[in-house]
Structures are given as C-alpha cells and as structure tokens.
A and B are shown apart, each in its own frame.
Chain A
Amino acid sequence: AQTVTQSQPEMSVQEAETVTLSCTYDTSENNYYLFWYKQPPSRQMILVIRQEAYKQQNATENRFSVNFQKAAKSFSLKISDSQLGDTAMYFCAFLKGYGGSQGNLIFGKGTKLSVKP
C-alpha cells in the first residue's frame, strides 16, 4: 500500500521569503502522479501543482515549484516570494497511474503554513 508522509506539522515564513515543505512517499509503483493541494481557512482544497513520475523535469507554477527525487521518493514544494494569502494547510498527495486498482488520491497529514507580515 502507498503511504505519504509530511514530517513538518507546522511551519512559518516571513512575507516575501522562500519556504520549502517536505513530502516523502512509499510505493512500488512505477507509474504515478504527485500533487500538492492547499486548503485555506475557507476549507476548499485547491490544486497547487502536479508532477508526473515519468517526467524528470520538476513542475513549476508561478511562485510554486517542486523538487522531485524519484529514487529517494521525495517530493518537496518550494514557495518563493511568500504572500499572506499563502497561509493555509498544504497537503501532499499520491495517485497511482490509470488502470490501477486503487484509483484514489492518498494524502499526507498536511503542513500548516503561516506567512507572517
């Protein structure tokens, strides 16, 4: 079974600085996808970034980028130029490739990020 571990329950960063959130996962699959989701106090889960395991190039979305280390099964999220609106819970998630029997996102327990002015 796949597991996702986020070892940092809480983090804080000053506005405009850079912060990195850690995520490790365990799987025997070769075809899978990794995601970071953000959950602000409004409760809505918002997709931040997506990475395909077969792509070596790290995904980037504006101020958000990942460091994907497949061999180490590590998938960290870097937030550059942090903004107050980035304050939220961040969840790392794993999805087996299409055709797998499981077919659902598996989430880590989350990291609560606070951006301070």
Chain B
Amino acid sequence: EAGVTQSPTHLIKTRGQQATLRCSPISGHTSVYWYQQALGLGLQFLLWYDEGEERNRGNFPPRFSGRQFPNYSSELNVNALELEDSALYLCASSLAGRNYGYTFGSGTRLTVV
C-alpha cells in the first residue's frame, strides 16, 4: 500500500511568488491535514480537509489556502511568499474516524529567497 505522497520534495521560490504543494493521501483516507514545520517552531496546524470541504484552519493568513479534490488529494497554495514561509510542509491523512492517528508524508521543503 502506497503511503502519503507529497510533491515536490524541494521547492525554491522568490519572495512575492506563489507556491503550490501537492499531497496524495493513503487510499481510503478522506481527511487531509497540512502542517508547517519551521525551524524552532515545531509543527503548526495549517488546514484540514475532509470530503472536499475545509473543516478547520490554523492561525495563518489568508494567503495560505488549499483545496481537496474528488479523489481526496489536496493542494496547498501559498501566495505572496515571504522569507518566513521557508519551512518543511507536511501533509497527513487519516480515516474519517481519525482517532488512530495520522499518517504523514515526507514533506515538501519550501525555501523562499
């Protein structure tokens, strides 16, 4: 069984540009979560999608947005990139019950220069 896959592995963008990160959940998982892991700040919750709907959002500005497609894959968009957006972005998926924990992907390392 394939795990959670994220692409690209690394992404370098210039300040002010837009970045698009992609995530494919484990087959059968309907919930997708996005986390930002910046150096020294731990994992900060960004977004939660379930069945195509945004269920919850962390304390991030509106230039962080995303969506979930009918096949449950998800996209995270970051507009007007700032230097402090440089971080590892982790995607996770879970079954609808989600009490058994999440399965994480290996992340996308975004560097803003």
A residues adjacent to B (C-beta < 8 A) = 33, 35, 37, 42-47, 50, 52, 91, 95, 97-98, 101-110
Interface residues of A, dominant DSSP = loop
Contact B107 A105, beta carbon cutoff 8 Å: no
Q: Which residue of A lies closest to B42 (CB)?
A: A109
With both chains docked as a complex, state the minimum distance between the C-beta of A109 and any C-beta of chain B, in angstroms.
4
**How many of B's residues come within 8 Å of A, CB to CB?**
24
Q: List 11 A-B contacts (CB under 8 A).
A: A33-B101, A42-B106, A44-B104, A45-B92, A50-B101, A95-B98, A97-B99, A104-B48, A104-B58, A105-B43, A109-B42
Residues of B participating in the A interface, judged by any CB pair closer than 8 Å: 33, 35, 41-43, 45, 48, 55-56, 58, 88, 90, 92, 97-107
Pick from A35, A106, A110: contact of B101, CB below 8 A: A35
Chain B nearest CB from A73 CB (Å) reads 19
Cross-chain contact B56 with A47 (CB below 8 angstroms)? no
